[in-house]
Amino acid sequence: MDIDVDGVAQQVSTGRLPGWDRVEALVREAHQTYSSATAGAVADYIPVLAAADPELFGLCVAEVDGGLHQVGDAEVTFSIQSISKAFVYALVCETFGHEEVLERVGVNNTGLAFNSVMAVELNGGHPRNPMVNAGAIATTAMMPGATPAEQWQQIRDGLSRFAGHPLELDEEVYRSEAATNLRNRAIGRLLQSYGRIAVDPLEVVDTYTRQCSLRVSARDLAVMGATLADGGVNPLTGERVVSAQVCTDTLAVLASTGMYENSGEWLFEIGLPAKSGVSGGIVAIAPGKGALGTFSPRLDAAGNSVRGQRAAAHLSRTLGLNVFASTARSPERQEQDR
């Protein structure tokens, strides 16, 4: 496919998923294989998350043509948490463009935990990337809207367009996090002290806490991811949510930072841009093909869902999703190329 960026025709090459029945069988196989994994622990630093059922496990692959393959608890809803950062980032990129967002929030991994204060200090008050809390709070502050209420409305509407239906706020999760998010408030104040947030940082953190409390399912995540995989067009509604260039920018940031300080290992094992959240969701995007949404609340030390990561590794290999995959040409192709 030819796309035109800055007047330069570009060739885009991505490939296809295997046929319907094969995808269906592999999603079931991945669910069955990892449903007995019990490693990891449910997040408890946001009090209400500790009550999550650790056995929940849902998978969904959304194809760019709107086909959905779901198994297990794929329609159980949970708070989106950090996965919201990816989609708010895309909305902000759509408004401000590549250069300005790059300058204001950066794109490099911190190598530190998602809620690190030190990462801000080590970088002279400049957030390193939009997928850790400091950069995400700075990104939320950039959302269009004259008041925090208008910004929140824009975020909710924007994320709902990615999902293809109105997303609801989980009031209980919001209240639980709002009552305990002292660290995020500290990060907001720190960014303000460096002149990085022009508006009231506590109001920005409140909007950020709301965006993290939107309810989604693994199915929603798959559809939201497939929108990024298909140049910004939602595969269910056909609505263009963001431009193709914004998708490319967002996916590049997810590849380097979406799985926190384990992003390198994830890329090494799975080879896909992805984002995870502390309530147990992961979205992994295969450009031009579709996306995988997973939900299972037990997390590893970096805060990434254990079953979700294993299922993603399995499906990346069996569905042929790894964007770095390299194989020798077939003998037939070698013959043709002669």
**List of residues contacting ligand GLN (CB under 6 A):** 81-82, 114-115, 133, 177, 184, 212, 277-278, 303
Q: Are 16 and 245 in contact (CB under 8 A)?
A: no
Least distance CB 43 / ligand GLN (angstroms): 8
CA distance 332 to 337: 9
Q: What does the block give as tokens for 103? A: 């300058």
**How far from 6 is each of 3, 9, 10, 39, 161, CA to CA, in Å?**
10, 8, 10, 48, 27
Q: Which CB atom, from 142 or from 173, has the smaller least distance to ligand GLN? A: 173
**DSSP element (H, E) containing 41:** strand 41-42
User: What percent helix, strand, coil does the chain show, rounded to 5?
Assistant: 50, 15, 40
Residue 82 annotated to the active site: yes
Least distance CB 138 / ligand GLN (angstroms): 13
Q: Which CB atom, from 135 or from 277, has the smaller least distance to ligand GLN? A: 277
Q: At what angle do helices 244-257 and 98-105 cross, to 10 degrees?
A: 20
Catalytic residue among 85, 174, 253, 305: 85
Q: Are 110 and 129 in contact (CB under 8 A)?
A: yes
User: In the bound complex, which residue of the shown chain has the CB atom lying closest to ligand GLN?
Assistant: 82
Q: Which CB atom, from 82 or from 151, has the smaller least distance to ligand GLN? A: 82
Q: Which CB atom, from 148 or from 277, has the smaller least distance to ligand GLN? A: 277
Least distance CB 277 / ligand GLN (angstroms): 4
Residue 256 annotated to the active site: no
Catalytic residue among 204, 205, 246, 278: 278
Residue 107, exposed/middle/buried by CB under 10 A (0-12, 13-18, 19+)?
A: middle
- Helix H segments across 43-82? none
Least distance CB 4 / ligand GLN (angstroms): 36
Catalytic residue among 260, 283, 305, 306: 260
CA distance 254 to 63: 19
Q: Which CB atom, from 86 or from 212, has the smaller least distance to ligand GLN? A: 212
Q: Which CB atom, from 48 or from 246, has the smaller least distance to ligand GLN? A: 48
Residue 174 annotated to the active site: no
Residue 260 annotated to the active site: yes
Least distance CB 149 / ligand GLN (angstroms): 20
Q: What is the dihedral of CA 117, 123, 124, 129, to 10 degrees?
A: -80
Catalytic residue among 82, 217, 279, 316: 82
Q: 223: closest CA among 315, 131, 293? A: 293
Least distance CB 234 / ligand GLN (angstroms): 23
Q: Which CB atom, from 70 or from 133, has the smaller least distance to ligand GLN? A: 133
SS3 298: strand
Residue 289 annotated to the active site: no
AA letter at 289: K
Largest separation between any pair of C-alpha atoms in the chain: 68
CA distance 120 to 86: 19
Least distance CB 112 / ligand GLN (angstroms): 13
Q: Which residues have C-beta within 8 Å of that of residue 155, sequence separation ≥ 6? A: 84, 88, 91, 140, 143, 207, 210, 211
Q: At what angle do helices 133-141 and 182-193 cross, to 10 degrees?
A: 70
Q: What residues are labeled active site?
A: 82, 85, 208, 260, 278
